[in-house]
Structures are given as C-alpha cells and as structure tokens.
Structure 1
Amino acid sequence: MSDRILLFIAALLIILPLLFVKNTEFAGADTAAEEMIQQIAPHYEPWFDVVFEPPGGEVETLLFSLQAAFGAGVIGYIIGLYKGRKRNG
C-alpha cells in the first residue's frame, strides 16, 4: 500500500510543475554556469572545446535520457541482486 502512495506522490511531483509553472525555460546547470562565468569574467577562454556537439536539442535530450535510463538500470540491477542474495542466503 505504501508503495502506491509513494508512486502517486512521485507522479504528482513530476506532473504538477508542468501544469502550474508557465512561461519558463528549463535550462540546465551547464547553461546557468556559462552565463555566470560570462558575467564574472567576460574575457574567459575555455581550456578545451567540446568533443561531440549533438546536431540538435532533441539528440541531446535523447542522449541524456539514455544515460539516465542506463544508470537507473544499473542501480535497479544492483538493488535486485543484493535483495535476491539476502532472500536466498
């Protein structure tokens, strides 16, 4: 029963901001950091260039989503492995 409540709360935390927060740009931490660096030191030169620049925002979102899914899969596998060991042994 408590699992369903936690799942419901997690769904609310995902859906409610999308419904009530209007006219905002959901930029990442990289963008915020870049803007702050430009304000503090406008003549700053980065030490290196980007290795791979995705052709569009959709590809960048896809790669980030795949990375998150892979990480969640690894964490879920490890939790399941330890839970199975504890149950069997």
Structure 2
Amino acid sequence: MKNKWVLILAALVAFSPLLFLGDASFLGADSLAEEEIQKRNPDYDPWADPLFEAPSGEVESLLFALQAALGAGFIGYFIGLTKGRKESSERNES
C-alpha cells in the first residue's frame, strides 16, 4: 500500500509541470546556454565542434533515452549484485 502512494506522488511530481505550465517551452540546458551566449556576444565562435550531430530532434531524444536506460540498468544491476552478495554472505555465516 505504501508503494502505491509513492508511485502516485511521483506521477504527480512528474506531470504537474505539464498541467500547470502547459504552454511553456521545455528546452534543454544546452540550447538555453547557447541562446544566452549568442545574446551576450553575437560574434562568439565556439572553440570545439561536436563529435556527432544528431540528424533530428527525434534521434537526439532516442539517444538520450537510450543513455538514460543504460545508466539505470547499470545502477540497478550494481545494486542488485551488491544486495545479492550481502545476502549470500549472511546466509553462509549462519
């Protein structure tokens, strides 16, 4: 029952900006920083180029989602492995 309320609360926190700020534009930090730099110094020339430029916003979102999924999978695996080793050592001690 406790997990149900935690999930409901998490969903409310995640979707509340969409409900209250429906017409807002949710830009990433990179694009906001680039806009601010161009506004303050229009002659700025970046000293480094990206290694890979995504062909579209959808591909960029897909790559970001894959990166997040791989990171979450790695963290979950590590936590599960650590917990399993701890439980195994506790069983072997008793």
Common fold by TM > 0.5: yes
Q: Distance in 2 between matches of 1:88 and 1:5?
A: 32
Larger of the two Rg values belongs to structure: 2
Partner of 1:27: 27
Percent sequence identity over aligned pairs? 56
Partner of 2:47: 47
- 1:19-78 residue CA offsets vs partner (Å, 9 max, x unmatched): 221211110000111111112222111012222211111111000000000000001111
Contiguous gaps of at least 5 residues in structure 1? none
Q: TM-score of the superposition, structure 1-length normalised? A: 0.88
Alpha carbon RMSD of aligned pairs, Å?
1.4
Greater than 4 Å deviation, 4+ residue runs? none
Contiguous gaps of at least 5 residues in structure 2? 90-94
SS, match of residue 27 in structure 2: coil
Q: What is the number of equivalent residue pairs in this alignment? A: 89
Partner of 1:63: 63
Q: TM-score of the superposition, structure 2-length normalised? A: 0.84
